[in-house]
Structure 1
Amino acid sequence: MGVNWRQWGKEAFDDARRMEKPLLLSISATWCHWCHVMDEKTYSDPKVVARIEQDFIPVRVDADRRPDIDRRYNMGGWPTTAFLTPDGNLIAGATYLPPQEMLQAMDAVLQSQDDRGLWRQRPLQRTGVQPEAADAILAEILLAYDTVYGGFGRAPKFPQPYVLRFLLEEYVRSSRDELREPLVKTLREMAEGGMYDQVEGGFFRYSTTRDWSIPHYEKMLEDNALLLGVYLDAYLATAQDEFSRVARDLCRFLLGPLRDEGKGVFYGSQEAHQEYYLLDQAGRAKLGPPPVDRTVYVNWNALACASLIRAADVLEEPHLAEQAERTLAFLLDECTLTSGPAYHYYADGPHLAGLLEDQTALAAGLMEAFQYTGKEEFLHRAEGLIDWACRSLWDDEAGCFRDTQESLLGPVWPFMENAGAALTLLKLHALTGEEDYRERVGLILGNLLARWKDYGYMAGELASALRLYAQGSITVVVSGPKAMELARIARREYLPGKVVSPGEPSDEDRALICVGDRCLAPVKTKEELRQSLSKIRTEPLRM
Structure 2
Amino acid sequence: MTDDTHVEWREWGAAPFEEAAAADRPVLLALTATWCDSCHEMDAETYGEPRIAANVNDGFVPIRVDVDRRPRVRERYNMGGFPSTVFCTPSGKVLSGATYLGPDGMRQVLGSVRDLWNQKGEDGGRIPRALAGEPTPAGAVDERIESHLAGQLDEKWDPRFAGWGTDAKFPLPETIEFALKRAREQAVETLGVIGESLYDDESGGFYRYAEGRDWSDPHTEKMLDVNAALLRAFANGYLYTGDEDLLDPATGARDFLVATLWNGSTFGGSVAPTDENDGADSDTDDPSLGPRRDLTGYAGGNALAADALLTLAAYTDDDTAREYADRVLEALERTLVASDGVVSHFAADDGTAPELLLADHARVVRAFATARQVRGPDALGTDRDPLTVARVVADAAIETLQEPEGAFRDGPAAGTGLLDEPLRPLDGGVAMAEALLDLAAICDEVADEPGSADSSASERSPDDYRTAARAGIAAFAGAWDRIGIQVAGYGAVAARLTRPELVIAVGGEPGTDLHRAALRVADHEAVVVPDAPTAAGTATVRVGESTREVETPDELMTAVSALTSDS
Work out whether the TM-score is over 0.5: yes
Report the counterpart of residue 490 of structure 1 in structure 2: 518
Q: 1:507 to 1:17 in 2, by over 3 A?
A: closer
Report the counterpart of residue 170 of structure 2 in structure 1: 158
Counterpart contact for 1:26–1:59, Cα < 8 Å:
yes
Counterpart contact for 1:270–1:291, Cα < 8 Å:
yes
- Aligned partner (choices 381, 385, 393) of residue 393 of structure 2: 385
Aligned 1:338-353 pairs, distance under 5 A: 338-346=339-347, 351-353=353-355
**Matches of 1:367 and 1:168 in 2, distance apart?**
22
Report the counterpart of residue 219 of structure 1 in structure 2: 222
1:442 maps to a residue whose letter is R
Aligned 1:281-292 pairs, distance under 5 A: 289-292=290-293
> Quick check: 1:448 aligned with 2:458?
no
Report the counterpart of residue 428 of structure 1 in structure 2: 439
Q: Deviations over 1:488-529 (max 9, x none)?
A: 1101223142111135555553211112x2223211222101
**Matches of 1:201 and 1:508 in 2, distance apart?**
41
Aligned 1:3-402 pairs, distance under 5 A: 3-112=7-116, 113=120, 114-118=124-128, 119-170=131-182, 179-193=183-197, 195-260=198-263, 262-263=264-265, 265-274=266-275, 289-346=290-347, 351-375=353-377, 377-396=385-404, 398-402=405-409
Q: 1:208 to 1:483 in 2, by over 3 A?
A: closer
Deviation at 1:109, TM superposition (A): 2.2
Report the counterpart of residue 448 of structure 2 in structure 1: none
Give the 3-state SS of the residue equivalent to 1:166 in structure 2: helix
List runs of 5+ in structure 2 lacking aligned partners.
279-286, 379-384, 445-461
2:485 maps to a residue whose letter is Y
Deviation at 1:316, TM superposition (A): 2.1
**Matches of 1:340 and 1:315 in 2, distance apart?**
32
**Matches of 2:36 and 2:560 in 1, distance apart?**
45
Report the counterpart of residue 282 of structure 2 in structure 1: none
**Matches of 1:169 and 1:302 in 2, distance apart?**
24
Q: Deviations over 1:419-458 (max 9, x none)?
A: 1111111111111131111111221112223456665221
Counterpart contact for 1:41–1:99, Cα < 8 Å:
yes
Report the counterpart of residue 530 of structure 1 in structure 2: 557
1:519 maps to a residue whose letter is S
**Matches of 2:77 and 2:69 in 1, distance apart?**
14
2:47 maps to a residue whose letter is Y
After TM superposition, the structure 1 stretch with the greater mean CA deviation from structure 2, 421-430 or 130-139, is: 130-139
**Matches of 1:99 and 1:136 in 2, distance apart?**
47
**Matches of 2:393 and 2:491 in 1, distance apart?**
24
**Matches of 2:395 and 2:388 in 1, distance apart?**
10
The runs of at least 4 aligned residues of structure 1 exceeding 6 Å deviation read none
**Matches of 1:483 and 1:519 in 2, distance apart?**
26
**Matches of 1:482 and 1:374 in 2, distance apart?**
6
1:107 maps to a residue whose letter is G
1:161 maps to a residue whose letter is P
Deviation at 1:305, TM superposition (A): 0.5
Counterpart contact for 1:483–1:509, Cα < 8 Å:
no
1:489 maps to a residue whose letter is A
Give the 3-state SS of the residue equivalent to 2:475 in structure 1: helix
Deviation at 1:239, TM superposition (A): 2.8
% identical equivalent positions: 32
Report the counterpart of residue 546 of structure 2 in structure 1: 519
**Matches of 1:371 and 1:293 in 2, distance apart?**
31
Q: 1:269 to 1:480 in 2, by over 3 A?
A: closer
After TM superposition, the structure 1 stretch with the greater mean CA deviation from structure 2, 443-452 or 242-251, is: 443-452
Q: 1:505 to 1:297 in 2, by over 3 A?
A: same
Counterpart contact for 1:477–1:501, Cα < 8 Å:
yes
Q: 1:54 to 1:467 in 2, by over 3 A?
A: same
Deviation at 1:159, TM superposition (A): 0.7
Counterpart contact for 2:141–2:498, Cα < 8 Å:
no
Deviation at 1:27, TM superposition (A): 0.9
Q: 1:503 to 1:316 in 2, by over 3 A?
A: closer
Q: Deviations over 1:176-219 (max 9, x none)?
A: xxx223212211111112x2111121111111222223211111
**Matches of 1:483 and 1:54 in 2, distance apart?**
65
CA RMSD for the aligned pairs?
2.3
Deviation at 1:38, TM superposition (A): 0.7
Q: Deviations over 1:308-356 (max 9, x none)?
A: 1111121221342122111111111111211231110136687222111
Q: 1:531 to 1:48 in 2, by over 3 A?
A: same
**Matches of 1:533 and 1:72 in 2, distance apart?**
45
**Matches of 1:450 and 1:18 in 2, distance apart?**
45
Counterpart contact for 1:394–1:402, Cα < 8 Å:
yes
1:206 maps to a residue whose letter is Y
**Matches of 2:431 and 2:236 in 1, distance apart?**
18
Counterpart contact for 2:341–2:389, Cα < 8 Å:
no
**Matches of 2:41 and 2:511 in 1, distance apart?**
57
1:297 maps to a residue whose letter is Y
Q: 1:107 to 1:275 in 2, by over 3 A?
A: closer
Q: 1:134 to 1:508 in 2, by over 3 A?
A: closer
